[in-house]
A and B are shown apart, each in its own frame.
Chain A
Amino acid sequence: MDLIERYLAYVRLLLPRRSPRDDILAELREALTVCQEEQATKLGRSATPEEAEQLLREFGHPVIVAARYGRQQYLIGPDLYPVYTFVLKLVLLIVAAAIVLSGIVTALATTGAAGSAARTAIALWSGAFSTFAAVTIIFAALQRYFPRLRLLSDWRARDLPALPKARRGTWFEHVTGIVVNAVFILWWLGVIRLSPLIPLNADQGLHLSPDSAWHGLYWPVLGLAFGAIAIHGLRLMRDENRRLGHALDLTLQLGFMAVAGWALHAGHWIAVTGTGLPPEVISQIDRAVNLGLATSLIVILCVAAVRAGYDVWRLAADGDRATD
């Protein structure tokens, strides 16, 4: 079988099922024969095997030539593509947030934090992959069966919701933030001392003291408080570098998440003792105080996770704008 016939055999194999294969191949054979004759005329002799091969290469790979006889179809066309990317990003964000939150709740409900983190990472990977596949299949189906569909073509500018202005926070908020954190640091360092005694009446009183759970968190908590002051200070400056601000805030929020997560595993943070009170009452107060602290730590963890997600999104959005 010469090269042209071998080439045509592959084209035949790859042609769309319903195409008139014999007719197409007859036409291509005729075209290639003419090309061969033209080549021989130019060379003044018969083409070498390499030259014959070059002629077929110029004609095009059988896969490409055969595919051109098929229906010209976009997987997702230019009209639908911007909507597709928008929906894909949105759904990916929602799925990722749901998986991370469920991972946090699982970590809190069980003791194996490392295992929970690994499961969350796997769930994030498979969730992202499944989301990508599902959204792509839906849009490919829309493209195929509703090619004239014009999503988002019927809209009015006045219906777009007003976006909140980028908030730097007020001067008062940042100064307050700096003062509150400074007071906290002074208390944490022991410069400001608060009495651990809470008098209830002349004969009764409660004594609150931090548990050993805080010993390992002394320096991290101090670092976070200084970090919070640095960010408030940065935001007070009018010429704040937004990317730097978000990067620092992201670091801070991750720090909050790590410290809150670590502290949560202790299960007990304040030891309550008392004078003049029955042991069961002191025990109940101890439980209530520590339950309140556990709730606060969970809230801190969730808020920090949301803020960290926002920082990541803003960093990515600013990065996209910078590269445009």
Chain B
Amino acid sequence: MPIDDDLYDKLRLELRRGSLVLAVLAALKREHYGYTLRKVLADAGLTIEEGALYPMLRRLEAQGLLTSQWREEDKRDKRFYRLSKDGAALLSELTDEWRAINGALDNLI
């Protein structure tokens, strides 16, 4: 039976959803504003809709995982984000979990 395209898209989306948060947290070990963060993620092979990225940054900040500040760069105000102390601790735990899952999957696939 051929695999339904909708099913593939749905499962792919589920697979990516959780990993995107980890990717954003990892990328924000260095300070970025929205545009440069999206570029870093895209260069690493993880594209994300901008309309989803900015709300996600706000949510992670509201959860205490990021800090942010407005700063001028190239004569324009930009909001820069960086991993907070709590965010760094959580990233470390999530990274361990990710590696464990990855290792387990490597053995299975």
**Residues of chain A at the chain B interface (Cβ within 8 Å):** 23-24, 26-28, 30-31, 33-35, 58-60, 64-65, 68-69, 72
Contact = CB atoms under 8 A, between A and B. Distances in A.
Contacts of A34: 35
A59 B51 CA distance: 5
B11 to A, nearest CB: 15
A40 B28 CA distance: 28
B51 A30 contact: no
Contacts of B103: none
A35 B36 CA distance: 11
Contacts, number: 44
A60 B52 CA distance: 8
21 contacts: A26-B70, A26-B79, A27-B34, A27-B54, A28-B54, A30-B33, A30-B34, A30-B78, A31-B35, A31-B54, A34-B35, A59-B50, A59-B51, A60-B51, A60-B52, A65-B55, A68-B52, A68-B55, A68-B56, A69-B55, A72-B59
A60 B76 contact: no
B93 interface: no
Interface on chain A toward B: helix, strand, loop, or mixed SS? helix
B58 interface: yes
Contacts of A64: 51
A31 B76 CA distance: 11
Contacts of B9: none
Interface in B27-84: 33-35, 49-52, 54-56, 58-59, 70, 76-79
Contacts of B35: 31, 34-35
A24 B58 contact: yes
A65 B51 contact: yes
Contacts of B52: 60, 68
A64 B54 CA distance: 12
Contacts of B77: 26, 30
Contacts of A24: 54, 58
